[in-house]
Structure 1
Amino acid sequence: MGPLPRSLELFYDVLSPYSWLSFEVLCRYQNIWNIKLQLRPSLIAGIMKDSGSMSAMRFLTALSLEHPEMLEKVSRELWMRVWSRDEDITEPQSILAAAEKAGMTIEQAQGILEKISTPKVRNQLKETTEAACRYGAFGLPITVAHVDGQTHMLFGSDRMELLAYLLGEKWMGPVPPAMNARL
């Protein structure tokens, strides 16, 4: 019997710049470390009781249900808007602009936006946030590693060296050599 599959869950909120750091590093390393990365949009307000990203996080939750292949790009664009360009991510037109810039058609994005207040989306975001709390979250990001039948919860974006150790992999810094060649 071969080694058990290794997977990581990244619980994040786009209002957390530290979540963004973990997001970018784990997206870069998912193929290098041969891991299955599951992106888990969460609501930091459900953990910290204060956030302004409810609409954006509901949009990402609906997106994960309808178009999971777009989740990475739209999440990144929302972070770019709020943390790099100081643009809004709470108003519907801002969310649509981010989705369109990430490569979605306006029709796709509008369809997702129309679902953000549905019970299905609201319940999914609540369930994901509660899952993060069950793992012991007290803020975001948390990364949950499932390795060799064990579960390890790591808080923060500065735990990548420890994560590499848990995975039996080499940590090569936030931008691995293969990425440096492309940048």
Structure 2
Amino acid sequence: MTSKKVIELFYDVVSPYSWLGFEVMCRYRNVWNIDLKLRPAFLGGVMQGSGNKPPGLVPNKFAYMTHDLKRLAQYFDVPLQSPSDPFEAMFKKGSLSAMRFVAAVQERETGGDKQVEQVSRELWMRIWSEDKDITDPASLSEAAMKAGLPDSEIKELLKLSTSKEIKDKLKSTTQEALDHGSFGFPMMVCHVNGKHKMFFGSDRFELMAHCIGEKWLGPQPGKSAAKL
């Protein structure tokens, strides 16, 4: 069996498109011959560093996004629905504290990214399915509890998330995303034969599969395979 291809997934839980990309890549982790590396980063830093503009600042783009997400939620089978005030949730409150918390979870976790995956998913559920806050420490604690983390560990993680160590870790990962050419999330970096190839967005999976020598079986590979 050939060695696994490494795919890095850069994401931020404030981004609904990142949620779609995240779920698809988690589904394909055991379908494709890949080693998936979760890279939680700060979308605000990438937008600023790349000079990109949020869709909320372009009225037509923001209006389109609202309808687009409804279609995508059904297609990808992800319980995604816009919060009551998406502009406030995405751009006024932001995700800095949430992503520092995810970075702290990853810093403490050993033997894989299972806790990072579970906590990230719970945070997406809060903002993009349940219309809840993801900035308050109590909200972060609740998401972590739902992800299965014990209360004592959650308290330690909340404290760690405000440390210089974690702030620098998140800055470093965000800078890595920029160094790869990122201007938004989700961003996948595929390492193949000593080279890396960057793919942006939740609509490039078929092309990515072609480039890494795998097959795209749709957004739910298990169901697609069952029909073959």
* Contact 1:137/1:155, CA 8 A, preserved across alignment: yes
Query: How does the TM-score come out when normalised to structure 2?
Result: 0.75
**2:142 is the counterpart of 1:97:** yes
Alignment of 1:1-183 (within 5 A): 3-49=2-48, 51=91, 52-67=94-109, 68-177=113-222
State the alpha-carbon separation in 2 of the partners of residues 69 and 110 from structure 1: 19
After superposing on structure 2, the runs of 4+ consecutive aligned residues of structure 1 that deviate more than 4 Å are: 178-181
Please state how far the C-alpha of 1:132 moved relative to its aligned partner: 0.1
When the two structures are superposed, what TM-score results if normalisation uses the length of structure 1?
A: 0.93
Structure 1 or 2: larger helix share?
Answer: 2
CA distance in 1, matches of 2:170, 2:201: 20
Percent of pairs with identical residues? 49
CA contact (8 A) 2:7 2:34 kept: yes
The Cα of 1:5 is off from its aligned counterpart by 3.7
- The 8 Å contact of residues 30 and 36 in structure 1, kept in 2 or not, is answered as yes
CA distance in 2, matches of 1:45, 1:89: 15
Residue 69 (structure 1) shift: 3.1
State how many pairs are aligned. Answer: 180
Counterpart CA distance in 2 for 1:97 and 1:154 is 33
Q: CA RMSD in A?
A: 1.7
Q: Secondary structure at the match of 1:115?
A: helix
Q: Deviations over 1:28-56 (max 9, x none)?
A: 00111021100000001101248510110
- d(CA) in 1 for partners of 2:221, 2:3: 25
One-letter amino acid of the counterpart of residue 181, structure 2 = G
**Which residue does the alignment assign to 2:76?**
none
- 1:167 Cα deviation after fit: 1.7
Amino acid at match of 1:167: I
- Write the distance in 2 (CA, Å) between the matches of 1:98 and 1:165: 36
Superposed displacement of residue 180, structure 1: 8.6
Separation in 2, partners of 1:115, 1:42: 16
Shift in CA distance, 94/144, structure 1 to aligned 2, threshold 3 Å: same
Structure 1 alignment gaps of length 5 or more: none
Contact 2:4–2:33 (8 Å) recurs in 1: no
